[in-house]
Amino acid sequence: MPDPVPTAPRPRSNLWFESRYRKLQRGLPQTVFFCPKCKGDRRRKHDCPECKGFGKLTRESVQELIARRLVPAFGAKYGVFHGAGREDIDVLMLGRGRPFVFEVQGARNPDVDLEALRAEIVQRAAGQIELAPFVRVPRARVAYWKETHFDKVYRAEVACERMPTAAAIAAAAGFAGTVVQRTPQRVAHRRADLDRPRRLQVLALAPSGESTLELRVLCQHGTYVKEWISGDEGRTTPSLAGLLDVPSRCTVLDVEEIMTDDVPGPRLPAAPAEA
């Protein structure tokens, strides 16, 4: 009997899978929400007063809910989540969901039942996220989603200091045009302080309570919707609050749809030049 041929360890490879996530729970960040004080550093987090040794500020993220099952399924140790943009932590991601590519680094086992894996991730996520079927894609899809920008439809609840006049609501409901947004204070620490023109079109605006309005708005990529609603102390003009002539703020915000090429629906007219 000849000796059995020694089996070489299976080669490792990198794999890319595309899907779209719907985020159905507020307070869930897209990626790991590291503690701003210790940055999740293994040694520094131990006596960090900010996160009490946890290293991050939320238990879960979309990234972790996916990576936790997906990475081991491929016999890999590492994965990278590449989202096509991101929504704020308190904003739901509805409609067909936000595209992303999940990169599996060093996969030893490429033969995975993607549909069973997706079902398991969604089931374990217990209502926090839903996923479109995974499709294996070439690496170039990461750059495509990073570099391509899409209009978005948002749904917002707007709290007004008092109910605006019917005429003001009607005028604001017909707004379509360009607004100029100076970098909001809340992101000024990581974005250059600039005036950015952004196109948007109000799709619907109607009273929803004693002094509240429900808004649907189609926005160019990069629009700060909360700031457009409030005016951000004069940093965004014109603003919804300005059009209504009543101090107003966004209390609830959802991304209703990201208008990727395959999604039917309204589009903003092409702009002469983009900032």
Which parts of this chain interact with Zn ion (CB under 5 A)? 35, 37-38, 45, 48, 50-51
3-state secondary structure of 136: strand
d(CA 219, CA 199): 6
Report the residue number, 51 or 215, with the smaller CB distance to Zn ion.
51
Q: Tokens 């391509």, residue?
A: 148
- For residue 103, the Cα-to-chain-centroid distance in whole angstroms is 18
Q: For the CB of residue 54, give the shortest distance to Zn ion in the complex, in Å.
A: 7
Report the residue number, 24 or 48, with the smaller CB distance to Zn ion.
48
Q: Is the peptide bond before 238 cis (omega within 30 degrees of 0)?
A: yes
Report the residue number, 45 or 82, with the smaller CB distance to Zn ion.
45
Q: Is the dihedral of CA 65, 69, 71, 74 positive or negative?
A: negative
- The answer to whether residues 5 and 102 touch, using CB atoms and an 8 Å cutoff, is no
In eight-state DSSP terms, residue 51 is: T
Report the residue number, 15 or 51, with the smaller CB distance to Zn ion.
51
d(CA 190, CA 180): 19
Q: For the CB of residue 49, give the shortest distance to Zn ion in the complex, in Å.
A: 8
Report the residue number, 51 or 129, with the smaller CB distance to Zn ion.
51
3-state secondary structure of 66: helix
What's the burial of 157, exposed, middle or buried (CB within 10 Å: 0-12/13-18/19+)?
middle
| Closest alpha carbon to 47 in 55, 36, 56 | 55
d(CA 53, CA 72): 26
Q: For the CB of residue 39, give the shortest distance to Zn ion in the complex, in Å.
A: 7
Which residues are tagged catalytic?
A: 88
- Which residue type does 229 have? I
